[in-house]
Each structure stands twice: as structure tokens, then as C-alpha cells.
Chain A
Amino acid sequence: MSHIPSLPDIAAGRCTSEEISERFSDLHPPLKHHEALVAADRCYFCFDAPCTIACPTSIDIPLFIRQIATGTAEAAAKTIFDQNILGGMCARVCPTETLCEEVCVRETAEGQPVLIGQLQRYATDTVMASGVHPYAREPKTGKSIAIVGAGPAGLACAHRLAMHGHSVTIYDARQKGGGLNEYGIAAYKAPDDFAQQELDWLMSIGGIVIETGARLGDDLSLTLLQSDHDAVFLGMGLSGVNALALEGTHDGICDAVDWIESMRQSPDKTDISVGRNVVVIGGGMTAVDAAIQSKLLGAETVTIAYRRDKGAMSASEFEQELATSKGVHILFNATPETVSNGAITFSRTGTDEQITLPADQIMRAIGQKLESASADLAIDGGKIKVDENGRTSVKGIWAGGDCASGGEDLTVTAVAEGRDAAEDIHANLMKGS
């Protein structure tokens, strides 16, 4: 057993660099060749497969698994990338237990789905490790498209447009591309700098330029983008955070996404401060990720406090179990009321009962929101309103991913929306030519 120093308050260095790298290694280690063949053999090659229907990017899952089973992982990867160019990241981060694997007929039959996500990783890793990029660009069209945001939506859109021969410029406010793949996803889901590797691999198709440190709203305006380009796609995600009114003062309150972002950017994470007693407020994937990673960094107690009950929590059953298996406590029906240094008090939702927990650090994870969009764009439920082709209310502007209406806020959904918008942009720009 290694020694975890019991540091008070909020401190870095609760664990050694070795401990951290061990704890933050792959959540699901990659399948070995033999494991992949055994897993692939379980697929029944269903007709009109339920798994494919459940995949937001509609990957032909029975086909790619059969291609793995017959010794052609490269062809399998092509089947995946044809639908989802970020198939490598999705294989790591998709909540498969609520998507493809939830409806796999072998889940129905035996409560044990085919390991679709892990097989997808096996196939995509094979191609990415070989350094081959299996797509070439069609002849240049001379059209140029501006994309705002280099997250999954923007990247999927850019790749599809580049494939069709257009030139693409992506503008992103941050210093690195990748969006939440780089700054948000839990470190143990995509270790070894996978987000940047995938970004480089995706860009190797050519025809895509990323301008980092370029924020729409600063020197960059939609009008300018529209005048410089033939079309615009907005994929800037949700960078604003919801406010949470709490009575009292506390020195250790932060937004979970900010804390995760700095943690993701730290090379060995020994410099990341974490409380001895951490309380995370919220009920989604962000809350779970912040809680688990606090625990992995050496926090002694970590509690997720959620104002409603278990069934209402948006983090899946699997995610909840993952959290509790790491020693995170989940407190349901707890509405935060007051804070003071070192503590937070909740009321039992709908009752007078009060619960006070020690809290050196309090993380807010109660959802992100659209920071600001041009006044011209119609808004629907706090997001940019789009139709099924990703068209906004303004001609020549498309949007997709978390910032756009419709679909769950997931990497795979953002990819699907970016890809589909690209096809619509392409069809529009090439009309009559």
C-alpha cells in the first residue's frame, strides 16, 4: 500500500506521479487479438441490426464485426470511419450501455452484449496505429467553409467537407483543437494523448486548417466569416456554465468543467489541487467524472450531491456504479442551500431535513449553456435552433453538436450532426454545378 499524505484543505500532491499514472490508465484496456476474435464470434449478424439503429452515427456494426472475425480489421475500420470519422474516440467514450450495447440482442438473450465499443476500438486502433488515412480528397471545388469550434462536431463536419474537395478553416478559441475530447472527457477514457493523435490523423486528409486562439465574438464576427467563406458551420459547444445561487461564502468553489480542463492539460497531474473532502453538485457525466477523478487524485471523501432521485440522474447506471466502485458516495434528493468554509449544507429535497457535509472543495457540475450566439440566430431551448439538416434560421449558416438543438449532448451525436450538416452544405454549394 502506498502512502497517501493526509493534507488538509485543498492541496496538490496527494499521490505520487506513479500512482496517478496507474490510476488514470485505460478504463477498458484494448482487446488483444484473441479477445477480439472471441468477442467478434458472439455477433449474430442481425438483420436491420438494433445496435446500428441505436448508434447515433448508424455504424454498420454487424458488418464491421464480421470483418474483424474474418481477419480484416482494416476493412472493419473503414466501415466505421465511413459513418464516424471519430470512431476511435467514440469507441472509448460512448456510453455504449445506453446506446448500441443496450439493445444488442445478446444483451436481450443473456444480459451480456457483444463488446461493440471495444471491438470498434480494436478495429480503429489497428488502422490508426498503421498511420494510414484511408480517405483521399475528391477534386478541389474552390469552395471554402468556415467552421467555429474544433470539437467533435466541427471536426466531423470539416473532414466530410474536405473529402468532398472543399477547403475548410476551423476557428477555435482555445490553444488546442479537439474540444471536449481534449479538455473535458475523463482522462482514463482517452489516455496517452489520444485526442491529439486522432486530431492529427483526421487532419492528414488535407484541406483543413485550424486557427487556434480565434474566438467568435472577439475579432471574429459571423458577418466576417460569411463574407470570407461560402458557408459557415457553428460547432462551439456549450462553454457557459449554469449559475448556482448559494448562501454564504466558501474559498474552494469551482466549476467542475474548469477543474477537469486544468487536470486534463496537466502532464502528470501532480500539480492539480484537490480537496480532502470534495462535494460535487450535479447529476450528469460531468459530475461523475469530476468526482471519480478527485478520488483518483487522492481526495479522502468524495460525494456527488444530486437534487433528485437515482432514476432521474442523467449519468447512466454504469457511470453511477463506476463512481461508487471507486469509493464515491452519491447522495440523492439533496438541494444545496448554504456554504461556509469547510462545509456545505443541503436540505432533503421537499423536506425540512438538513444535511451538512465537510467540504474543502465544492465543484459545480449543474450543466453548461450556450455562451452567446449572434442575435440573428433563432434559439430553441437555450440552443441554436436547427432543422434535420443542421440549417439554422440564417441562410448560409449551419450548426451542430452541443450548441445546436436536438440530440443528446454526446460526442457521437456531435459527430453525426457535423457529418450530416457537411453533406447538406456540400449539396447546397454544388447545386447547379
Chain B
Amino acid sequence: MADLTSDFIGIKSPNPFWLASAPPTDKEYNVRRAFEAGWGGVVWKTLGEAGPPIVNVNGPRYGAIYGADRRLLGLNNIELITDRPLEVNIEEITRVKKDYPDHAVVVSLMVPCEEGPWKDILRRIEDTGADGVELNFGCPHGMAERGMGSAVGQVPEYIQMVTEWVKMHSDYPCIVKLTPNITDVRFPARAAQAGGADAVSLINTINSITSVNLDTLVPEPTIDGHGAHGGYCGPAVKPIALNMVAEIARDPETANLPISGIGGITTWRDAVEFMALGAGNVQVCTAAMTYGFKVVQEMISGLSQYMDEKGIDSVSDIVGQAVPKAKNWQDLNLNYVTKAEIDQDLCIKCGRCYISCEDTSHQAIAMSEDRVFTVKDDECVACNLCVNVCPVEGCITMRELSIGELDERTGKKVEEYANWTTHPNNPGATCG
């Protein structure tokens, strides 16, 4: 079994799988069960300032969208930060950390955007023994309207300012959690770095309304005849999160800023993908909320097997491996030609590739009288739609044409690498 130990900005944990700040980490009871189940660390559910606790709606607080067989694909919530008294949380964090010295315990914080409250909360958590803090600049609902959460995360100047206060008033390693509800994630990441953050974590949830009840015509989740937008997470947001992580990892200004990857991570594969695109570790919420803490066992065994098979010694060796290969569109090879190919032994003759190509794309699949489906190389542009709609994995694959081979669609032979920046049709091309 591979060595999965992780060191993220100096915070050590038995593996890179942390539970994100959310209901799974809201209480001592949950966190102890999580550590017993195998999670490497937790970011405790966000604490607010001292005083009267936060008030949540009673519920329903979640909405969902589903795939086939009612698989939960996306989850939306309208919950706020912890609604338990600050003192109780602090006592519990202290007890848990004492019993689990080798596991990571990071405290998530969200207080009003003034120096006083930040200084105060940092002083209050001083004796918990926690390994670091995470600044929640992400929640898109409830707290944002009060000038916290994503209301801070959407203004790079505020991010920098608050981060500076935190670094000034504490020695904690500081992770800044970013909201995806912005146009360009690189700006808040740069601001966090400028404020002295040790790392960023992303993504928090995405503004969303999951559904509308068609009998009452009220958005869901519905509270007494009304609904509010909430934060979206789960497998459906993974591609968005993955891109944002890559954007920061690829940005020369933040290339060395550590990232904790979050968003739709459900299996060990998702975790490795985030790490390959630059995440030093990962945080999980929805997968645990859907299946319970035991899912981490698959993540651990999967990562371990992958590392053994690939001969990777340390988790940190995976981090960033795919970053140099994530490019902008204009850097892609316009002379790269592939053709779809159908494995007739695997084909079950559902006809989905045919109808999707025929109705909506390039009319490049032929269907015979006896339902044999074949690709017309002279029409196929290799868009990949047939691969995506085929229900049988591995049944349709893309065959790469080698240089010099005839592309029957264009009637031209495949040439060497060339991209848009030098293409004759590009008015801004640098050279021919």
C-alpha cells in the first residue's frame, strides 16, 4: 500500500482526504465518527462571532437533482454557518484535536468585515490546538446579504484586507476559501495571495435554484410557500470546480499558491484529477452526505492502488502533473485528426450514436438495414458526441490519424502541429 500521508501548508494528515466545512463537521460526534472511518482531516463547520447563535430555517433546507436510478447528482442548500453556540464548538474542537493529534483539524471562520470581530474570534480559538484556519468568503446565501461570505469573496480588496488582519493577529496557517460566483477566479486568488494567505480552497457552492414545484409553482426547497436561491454542490459541479482550480494553478502570478480542491469530489478518481490539476489535497462534502463516511475507504484504496500501479511514492508527486497540459484553445493542434470507430462486438445496436449524429451533428454514422452502425470517415469531424451518448463504455473510440495519412473528410493529408496563432484564416496570426 502506497504512503498516503499528506502535508498541506505544513498541516499533516494521514491522507489527503479532508471533510469540507459543512454539516458533516458541525459536531464532535460527527467528526469523531469521520476520523474513525478514515478521513484524514476536517475543516470544522464555519464558526461565527460570539453572541446569540445563528438562526436557520427549520427546513426543508436542501434540494437535489438526480440522474438515472435517482442517483444524486447535485445538491443545493439554504443552510447558514453553524447554529450552535461558539463556546460549545470551541470546547468540542479542543477535545477532538487532543484525541486525534495526527489528524488535521482546521477551523472555518466567518465574522463581519471589520478588524475587531476577526481579532476577537482568532483570540477565542487560540487554545483549541487547531492546525489552521479557513476564511469562509464563499457562502452565497443568507450570510452574503449581511456583508459576509461571498459578499466578501466577490471583492478582491476585501479578501486581501481580511486576510491581512488574520495573518496579523494569529500565527495560524491561513486558507482562504473562494466563491465560484464571480467571473474570473484568478482575481480573488491573487488577492488572497497578496493578503498573505498560505493557500486557497475552492470551490464553495454555486448560486442555484434546483427546481420548482409544479403544483404550487414555488421554487424548491420550499419554506411556507416561498423558496430562496441556495448553494449548489455535488458531482454536477465538479467540471466547474476543476476548471477554476486549473485557472489558479496555471496563472503565473499564483502558480506557487497551494490549493485545497473542493467541488463534486465523489471517488478517488475525482480526487486524483483535482490533484493533477494543482490541488495539494481535497475536501469532500456531498459524497459523504450522500453515502456516509465510509466512502473514504474507496478513496483511500483507489488512490493507493493508483499510486502503486503508477509507481508514485508520494501524494505530492501527483500535484500539478496535468497543469502544463491545460492550455488555452489557441494552443491546440489544428492538424490533429481523429475518426470515431465503433467496436461491432461491443455495440448493442441502440442507435443513439446514429440519431444524435444524424439529427444534431454531422450525418457521419451510417445505419444498415440490419442495424449495423458504421462511421463515415469522409463525414466524421471527430466531435466525440457519439462517444458521449453511447451507453456502452469503450464501444466507440477515437482513432488518431498519423501524419501523412489521408483525412477522407478534407481530402488532405494530416500535417505537422500548427495552431490558430499561425493559421492563415486568423487575421492576427503572427506568421504564416
Chain A residues at the B interface, C-beta cutoff of 8 Å = 37-38, 41-42, 44-50, 105-106, 108-109
Closest Cβ of chain B to A196, distance in Å, is: 36
Residue on A nearest B395 in the bound complex, by CB: A109
Contacts of A105 in B (CB 8 A): 348-350
Residues of B in contact with A, size category: 10 to 19
> B68, B70, B367: which has the most chain A beta carbons within 10 Å?
B68
Residue on A nearest B356 in the bound complex, by CB: A47
Task: Decide: B69 and A38 in contact? CB cutoff 8 A.
Answer: yes
In the complex the two chains form, what is the Cα distance from A37 to B70 in whole Å?
Answer: 9
Residue on B nearest A49 in the bound complex, by CB: B351
Residues 369-421 of B contacting A (Cβ, < 8 Å): 371, 391-392
B355 at the interface (CB under 8 A from A): yes
Task: Decide: A44 and B350 in contact? CB cutoff 8 A.
Answer: yes
Task: Decide: A47 and B350 in contact? CB cutoff 8 A.
Answer: yes
In the complex the two chains form, what is the Cα distance from A95 to B421 in whole Å?
Answer: 63
Residues 283-314 of B contacting A (Cβ, < 8 Å): none
Task: Decide: A50 and B371 in contact? CB cutoff 8 A.
Answer: yes
B61 at the interface (CB under 8 A from A): no
Closest Cβ of chain B to A53, distance in Å, is: 9
Residues 337-364 of B contacting A (Cβ, < 8 Å): 348-352, 354-355
Task: Decide: A44 and B68 in contact? CB cutoff 8 A.
Answer: no
Closest Cβ of chain B to A333, distance in Å, is: 35
Closest Cβ of chain A to B71, distance in Å, is: 9
Q: Which of A41, A47, A49 has a CB less than 8 Å from the CB of B68?
A: A41
Task: Decide: B348 and A47 in contact? CB cutoff 8 A.
Answer: no
In the complex the two chains form, what is the Cα distance from A109 to B346 in whole Å?
Answer: 8
Contacts of B352 in A (CB 8 A): 44-47
In the complex the two chains form, what is the Cα distance from A226 to B418 in whole Å?
Answer: 81
In the complex the two chains form, what is the Cα distance from A45 to B68 in whole Å?
Answer: 13
Task: Decide: B68 and A48 in contact? CB cutoff 8 A.
Answer: no
CB-defined A-B contacts under 8 Å, sample of 11: A38-B69, A41-B70, A44-B352, A45-B352, A46-B350, A46-B351, A46-B352, A48-B367, A49-B351, A108-B348, A108-B349
Closest Cβ of chain B to A404, distance in Å, is: 28
In the complex the two chains form, what is the Cα distance from A109 to B394 in whole Å?
Answer: 13
In the complex the two chains form, what is the Cα distance from A123 to B70 in whole Å?
Answer: 20
Task: Decide: B355 and A47 in contact? CB cutoff 8 A.
Answer: yes
The list of the 3 closest CB pairs from A to B, nearest first, reads A47-B351, A47-B355, A105-B348
Closest Cβ of chain A to B72, distance in Å, is: 14
In the complex the two chains form, what is the Cα distance from A49 to B352 in whole Å?
Answer: 10
Contacts of B68 in A (CB 8 A): 41-42
> B350, B352, B354: which has the most chain A beta carbons within 10 Å?
B350
In the complex the two chains form, what is the Cα distance from A82 to B350 in whole Å?
Answer: 24
In the complex the two chains form, what is the Cα distance from A37 to B350 in whole Å?
Answer: 21
Contacts of B351 in A (CB 8 A): 46-49
Task: Decide: B392 and A109 in contact? CB cutoff 8 A.
Answer: yes
> A41, A47, A49, A106: which has the most chain B beta carbons within 10 Å?
A47
In the complex the two chains form, what is the Cα distance from A41 to B69 in whole Å?
Answer: 6
Q: Which of A37, A38, A47, A50 has a CB less than 8 Å from the CB of B354?
A: A47
Contacts of B371 in A (CB 8 A): 48, 50
Contacts of A41 in B (CB 8 A): 68-70
Contacts of B354 in A (CB 8 A): 47
In the complex the two chains form, what is the Cα distance from A46 to B348 in whole Å?
Answer: 10
Closest Cβ of chain A to B10, distance in Å, is: 47
Contacts of B348 in A (CB 8 A): 105-106, 108-109
Residue on A nearest B355 in the bound complex, by CB: A47
Residue on B nearest A44 in the bound complex, by CB: B350
Closest Cβ of chain A to B292, distance in Å, is: 22
Contacts of A44 in B (CB 8 A): 350, 352, 391
Residue on A nearest B353 in the bound complex, by CB: A47
In the complex the two chains form, what is the Cα distance from A39 to B289 in whole Å?
Answer: 26
In the complex the two chains form, what is the Cα distance from A45 to B367 in whole Å?
Answer: 17
What is the 8 Å Cβ interface bit string for chain B, positions 32-70, against chain A (1 contact, 0 not)? Answer: 000000000000000000000000000000000000111
Given contacts A45-B352, A46-B351, A109-B392, 16 further A-B contacts (CB under 8 A): A37-B70, A38-B69, A41-B70, A44-B350, A44-B352, A46-B350, A46-B352, A47-B354, A48-B351, A48-B367, A48-B371, A49-B351, A106-B348, A108-B348, A108-B349, A109-B348
Contacts of A106 in B (CB 8 A): 348
Closest Cβ of chain B to A252, distance in Å, is: 51
Contacts of A109 in B (CB 8 A): 348, 391-392
Residue on B nearest A45 in the bound complex, by CB: B352
Contacts of A108 in B (CB 8 A): 348-349
Closest Cβ of chain B to A323, distance in Å, is: 31
In the complex the two chains form, what is the Cα distance from A42 to B391 in whole Å?
Answer: 11
Closest Cβ of chain B to A45, distance in Å, is: 7
Closest Cβ of chain A to B215, distance in Å, is: 11
Task: Decide: A50 and B349 in contact? CB cutoff 8 A.
Answer: yes
Contacts of B69 in A (CB 8 A): 38, 41
In the complex the two chains form, what is the Cα distance from A106 to B392 in whole Å?
Answer: 10
In the complex the two chains form, what is the Cα distance from A55 to B3 in whole Å?
Answer: 58
Closest Cβ of chain A to B422, distance in Å, is: 41
Closest Cβ of chain A to B205, distance in Å, is: 27
In the complex the two chains form, what is the Cα distance from A49 to B68 in whole Å?
Answer: 20
Contacts of A50 in B (CB 8 A): 349, 371
Contacts of B355 in A (CB 8 A): 47-48
In the complex the two chains form, what is the Cα distance from A360 to B334 in whole Å?
Answer: 84
In the complex the two chains form, what is the Cα distance from A169 to B351 in whole Å?
Answer: 44
Residue on A nearest B68 in the bound complex, by CB: A41
Residue on B nearest A46 in the bound complex, by CB: B350
In the complex the two chains form, what is the Cα distance from A37 to B68 in whole Å?
Answer: 9
